[in-house]
Structures are given as structure tokens and as C-alpha cells.
Amino acid sequence: MTAELIRGPVVEKAIKDEIIKEVHKIREQTGKRPGLSIILVGDNPVSRASALDKEKMAEELGFFSVVKSFPATINQEELIAVIHRFNSNNNIHAIRVQLPLPDYLDEHRVIEAVQPHKEVDGLHPANMGNLILGEEETHIPIAPLACLKMLTSINYDLKGKHAVVVGRSNIMGKPMSAILLQQDATVTTCHSRTANLPEVCYMADVLVVAIGRPQLVKKEWVKPGAVVIDVGINRVGDRVLGDVDFLKVSQVAGFITPPGEVGAMTDTMFMLNTLQSFKSIHHATFVQ
Ligand code: NAP
């Protein structure tokens, strides 16, 4: 068997086209547009590059964006006051505080200061809680949302399927397991202490891997015909490797995502959640 590829750029383009169309309609009908703010503290070059990428994508999609930079001398209360100002700004629908923050700041307190419906990364305890409760009023964290979009793109029906998630981080593995459960899959969550990991993976109809270990998942771990979603991004020399041995696993899987392509979709998922926030803030239904 040779797996069919689920291509991130194709899925991403379809989502971006939909966002552009919808934002265009919204602007025509209301004169408003989704707005996002990105808060940078200190001079982490990766954070800065990520903020600039989002600024560029926001423009491409017709959103308004503002990036606010602060030196690593801003104190916690000052930073929270900035967040409160964005919370009460009606033109801002999403607030991203770029992580990691310098050590002297308490990331949890800072994230919790963002109003849950404007915290579109889905990390706020209220959003995580609503996800577990199956409430619609939440933002699904962006990396698991990218995985879900990959599965939706092949019309995969998760009902009654066995989904195995390898990785239990708060940002990826745990919310992924909750989403799959919500979709009526039977879910097993694995981590670094899981016994017999290859055998557990082999039980999967859908295998989602997010561990940060280059090519750990081997061909022998994958049931023929399984759907394999590889979230891992591992830079090895000048190559990006996934957590799955892509070439070999492709020989047995039914569907597979190429290395790096799920991770590359997260900015688009951020924008999708920003649009959702706009719509819930303005309680709007727009003509599609
Ligand atoms: P993380 O916070 O480091 O979590 C890694 C998880 O993998 C942990 O739960 C860990 O188990 C588990 N793990 C590590 N080694 C393992 C092993 N040998 N066997 C089984 N489980 C193992 O990483 P993350 O943020 O979830 O990201 C995972 C991968 O996805 C990385 O390559 C990352 O670059 C990529 N990615 C992440 C995001 C994101 O938004 N986080 C987005 C795109 C791509 P323990 O809990 O027991 O330690």
C-alpha cells in the first residue's frame, strides 16, 4: 500500500480562501473587520519573526493587526494593564501574547488576563475547560485544530474509530484527545511512560503523533490503512523531520501528512479562530 498524502498547503489554501471571502462579505455589510493584537516582550528573534508572519498573513486575509513591543523591563502589572486595554478595545478580537515570556513574568497569570473569547490560541483555562465540556463557545488550540482540519479534508468519520494520540502536552496532545473524543472516537493518549508504545500505536485507526522525536514512529507500529497525522517539527541539519518515519510509514498507512505540514498551518488556524471571535463578539450572522 502507498499512502495518500494529506497536503497541508492544499487544506490551508482552501481555508484561507474561505476566510478571505467571508471577511470581504463582512466588510461590505458592516464596514468592520476582524482585528488582532500581538504583544511582544523582550527581543526573542523567533517571537518577533512569528509576530511579523502573523502581521503579513492578517493583511493578506483582510484583517486589521497591531504589534506592540515592550522591553524586558515591563513589569507584570504593566503588561496586564496593556492586555486589559486590548480586552476593552472593540476593534480587537484576538490577543496573542507571544510566548515564551521572560522568566520573571508569570505566563499563566498573563494568559489568564486575556478575555477568554479574545484568547484565540485556546490556552486560557476557560477555553480549555469549555473544550473538555464540549461547549461550542471556545477556541480549539491551533495545532490540534490543524489536525482536525486535516482529518475533515478527507471526510474521515471518527465515530467509533480508535484514535491514538502520542504526546500529552497541554498545547497539543491533551486538547487533541479531547477533540477526538468529542467526535465519538475511542481515544488512547500515550506519553513517555506508556508501556508497549509500538503495540498501542498499532491499534490505531487514526494515529496523531506530537512528541518532538525525529522519526520515532516506525512502519511496524502502524496498522495497514491507518490515518497518520504527524505534528512533529524536528530540525535535523538543514532538514525538517516529523515524528514519523515518513517514507517507510507511507508504505503501510492509508493516509499520511508530510513532515512539517501540520505545524505550518497553525498561523492560519490562529486567523480562523480570530474570525470566529469576531463573529461571536458581534453576534453576527453574515450572508455566505
Ligand atoms: P512537548 O510539550 O515537548 O510534549 C511532548 C510530548 O511527547 C510529552 O507529552 C512527552 O511525554 C511525549 N513524549 C516525548 N518523548 C516520547 C517518547 N519517546 N514516547 C512517547 N511519548 C513521548 O511538545 P509539543 O509542544 O506537544 O510538540 C510536539 C511536537 O509537535 C514538536 O515536534 C513540536 O515542534 C510540534 N509542534 C507543536 C506545535 C504546538 O503548538 N505545540 C505546533 C506545531 C508543531 P511526557 O508528557 O511523559 O513527557
CATH code, domain with 91: 3.40.50.10860
Does residue 120 sit within a domain?
Answer: no
In this structure, the answer to whether residues 82 and 188 fall within a common structural domain is no
In this structure, the answer to whether residues 231 and 182 fall within a common structural domain is yes
Q: Residue type for 280, please? A: S
Does residue 109 sit within a domain?
Answer: yes
In this structure, the answer to whether residues 253 and 194 fall within a common structural domain is yes
Please say if 98 is a catalytic residue: yes
Judge whether residue 287 has pLDDT over 90: no
Closest CA to 270 of 118, 125, 115, 155: 118
- Cα(119) to ligand 1 centroid in Å equals 22
pLDDT band at 285 (very low <50, low <70, confident <90, very high): low
Query: How far apart, in whole angstroms, are the C-alpha atoms of residue 94 and residue 80?
Result: 15
Lowest-pLDDT range of 92-101, 201-210, 274-283: 274-283
In this structure, the answer to whether residues 148 and 220 fall within a common structural domain is yes
In this structure, the answer to whether residues 50 and 106 fall within a common structural domain is yes
Does residue 19 sit within a domain?
Answer: no
In this structure, the answer to whether residues 58 and 146 fall within a common structural domain is no
In this structure, the answer to whether residues 86 and 179 fall within a common structural domain is no
- Cα(172) to ligand 1 centroid in Å equals 8
Q: Residue type for 204, please? A: A
| Ligand 1 shell residues, CB under 6 Å | 143, 166-169, 171-173, 190-194, 197, 210-213, 216, 231-234, 263, 266
Q: Which of 166, 211, 216, 230 to mutate to test the pocket of ligand 1 (most atoms within 8 A of CB)?
A: 211
Quick one: pLDDT at residue 25? 96
In this structure, the answer to whether residues 109 and 215 fall within a common structural domain is no
- Cα(241) to ligand 1 centroid in Å equals 14
The whole-model pTM stands at: 0.96
Residue-wise pLDDT for 125-167, tens only, equals 999 999 999 998 899 999 999 999 999 999 999 999 999 999 9
Residue-wise pLDDT for 162-185, tens only, equals 999 999 999 999 999 999 999 999
Quick one: pLDDT at residue 107? 95
Query: How far apart, in whole angstroms, are the C-alpha atoms of residue 54 and residue 60?
Result: 10
Atom of ligand 1 nearest to the CA of 243: 32
Could you give the number of structural domains in the chain? 2
The mean pLDDT of the chain is: 96
Residue-wise pLDDT for 216-257, tens only, equals 999 999 999 999 999 999 999 999 999 999 999 999 999 999
Does residue 132 sit within a domain?
Answer: no
In this structure, the answer to whether residues 64 and 160 fall within a common structural domain is no
In this structure, the answer to whether residues 145 and 260 fall within a common structural domain is yes
Please say if 121 is a catalytic residue: yes
Q: Provide the residue range defining the domain that includes 75.
A: 32-115
